[in-house]
Amino acid sequence: MEHRTARLTLLIDPNKKTMFEKLCADEDVTPSQMVRKMIREFIEQQLGPDWRDEVFKEDPPH
């Protein structure tokens, strides 16, 4: 399972960022929670429902 965290930095249009933050607040989630959810859903879409076996089989490179 997940043991560590890693930072993902991205650039986004300020207007989109503001709207994203508003929509997240409307859903009572933080922007970070929503991005993590979208990443999990994308990985599952690409790798299937057993994606955790593949993703967590070994620690990622440092």
pLDDT digits (tens, 9 = 90+) for 16-25: 999 999 999 9
Give the span between the Cα atoms of 20 and 40, in whole angstroms: 18
Distance of CA 39 to the CA centre of its chain: 4
Measured from the Cβ of residue 4, the count of other Cβ atoms closer than 10 Å reads 7
Tokens of 19: 């709207």
Q: What is the pLDDT of residues 25-46, one digit of tens each?
A: 999 999 999 999 999 999 999 8
